Structure 1
Amino acid sequence: MTTEVRTELRPDGVAVLTLDGGDGRNAFGAATGRALGEAYARCDADDDVRAVVLTGAGSSFCVGADLASADVFGAAGESFSASPVDPPAFAVRKLVVAALNGHAIGIGLTLALQCDVRIVAADAKLAIPQVRRGMLGDAASHWTLPRLAGRAVAAELLLTGRTLSGTEAVARGLATEALPAADVLPAALVLAADVAVHANPASVALSKRLLWSDLGPDEIAAAETDAHRLLMGTPDAAEGPAAWRERRTPEWTSRVSDLPPLD
C-alpha cells in the first residue's frame, strides 16, 4: 500500500502534512517522496501557509522504507538520489515542525531531522538502522544529525544503527520535547499556530535561511546585516513593536514570496 501525503490548511495558517499508509505504519516509497516534495513546494509558495506540521497517521510516524518494494527511492542509476524529497524541509521558508507521534525508523527519522523542530512520543522507537541493512543513512542525515546533536552522537547513531526512545532522543539533542503519543500532534499544532500568528513571515524566512546555511561567522554577520536592512523601514518593522506596545495580535503584511535572494 502506497503511503500518501494528505494536506490540510487550517484557518490559523498552519498546513498539516500527514503521511498516511492506511495501515498505521506509513512505510516510505518513491511515490511518497515525490508527494511530500510537492507538498513542501506548495507550502513554500503559498503565502497563506505560515507554518507547517509533518506527522503520521495511525500509531507510527514512518517506519522507514518499504522494504517489500523493489522501487523504494526509484531505480538505481544516474537519476538515483538518496534524498528523494525535493525540496527538503530545511529549504521551505516557513517553520516546519515534525510531530513524531510514533515510531520513526530509517528515512522516517532522517526526514524528521530535516525539520526545524521535533516533538516526539516518549515511547516511540527511533533509529537509523541502514548500516544493519547493508546501506547507510540517507536524506542528508550525515549533515543534519551532526548539526543537531554533535558528531559523537551522529557517529553513534549512524555507525551502529542502534534504537533509542523518544525520551532519550530529547536527552541526546534530537528533539525538543517528549510527550505521551496522544499529546504530540496537539503540541506541535499549538507551537506552529503561535508562530503563524505572532511571528513576521519574512523574519522567519530570513532567519531560517541563515540558520540552515553553512556560512562562517563573518559571512553570517554580513548576511544578518543584509537581512536587517531588508526589513528596516517596512510596515512590519513598525507593526511588530506597535502590536507589542498595544498588547494585540500583529497584522503582518509581508509575503515570503516577495523576498529577494540574499547574497
Structure 2
Amino acid sequence: MDHEGLRLWKSARQEGGLMSYLHSILDKYQPQADAPAYAEALTADLQDAFPALRSVTVSGAHAKGTGVVVGDSGTDVDLLLSFAKDTVTPKGVYEDVYQYALRKGWTPRRRNVGIAVEVEGRRIDLLPARHQAGFEHYHNLYIRKVDKWRQTNIQEHIDLVRRSRRTEEIRLLKIWRTLHVLDFPSFYLELFTIEALKGRPYDVTENVWHVLGYMRTSLEILPVIDPTNPNNVISDTMTAQQKQAAAAAAVHSRHAEDWTHVLW
C-alpha cells in the first residue's frame, strides 16, 4: 500500500469499525427481496405478447449476487428474455420489447444492452436476446452504444462471478461508482474487479482499497475481454474520457480523510 490515504486507512482499521460500516452500506442499497418472484410472474404476459419468446429467466446482478440499488440507479432484478433464433434481428428484438414496455406504462429507459422498467415499485431490467441455435446458453445481444450485436453466454458470466468470491467487493464498488456519478458498465466493473483481485486473500476492506489503486494504474490500459467471446472487448464499452474520470475518482477516494467521503 502506498502513502495515499494511509492515515484514513490506518485509523479505520485501528477503530475496527470499517467492516461494520461497509456492511451497513451493503444493507442500505440492498435490492428488494421479493422482486425475483414478482418479476417471474410477468412471464405469462410476456410470452403472450411475444410468441417467439423461448424463456424468461432471472439473470444479471441478482443471479450473480452483485445487485445494488442506489437512488435512481440499479435494478431489483434482471430478466433474460430468450427469443428464438428465427425471430427478427437482435436490434429488432430490443426495439419490440421497448415498445411493449411503453404500451404497458412501465416507463422504460434504454440502457446499453437492457431496458430498465418500473412495475409496481419494482425495478426490473429486461434483457432481450436472440438465442444461438444449437448452443444452450449462447445469445446475441444488441449493444446500443455501438449499434451492433455481440454473441455472449450469460450463464457462464453468472457462474464466473459467483465462483470468484468477490461479490461483496463488487457490490461496494458498484455503489461507489454510482455515488461518484461514473459511467462504468456493471459487467466491465465485475470483470475488472475479479482481475484486480486475482490471487489475493478474502479481505473485503483491503480488497476494495486495492481495486481503487488498481483502477488508478490499470483502468486506462488493461484490455478486458468477454471470457465467452474473445471478439467482445468489454473494456471498449467505456470511452477514454470515462476511464480517465473513473481513475481520477479512485485517486480522490484514496486521498479522502474519512470513509464517509468514499461510500455513504
> TM-score scaled to structure 1, two decimals?
0.32
Question: Which structure shows the higher helix fraction?
Answer: 2
> TM-score scaled to structure 2, two decimals?
0.32
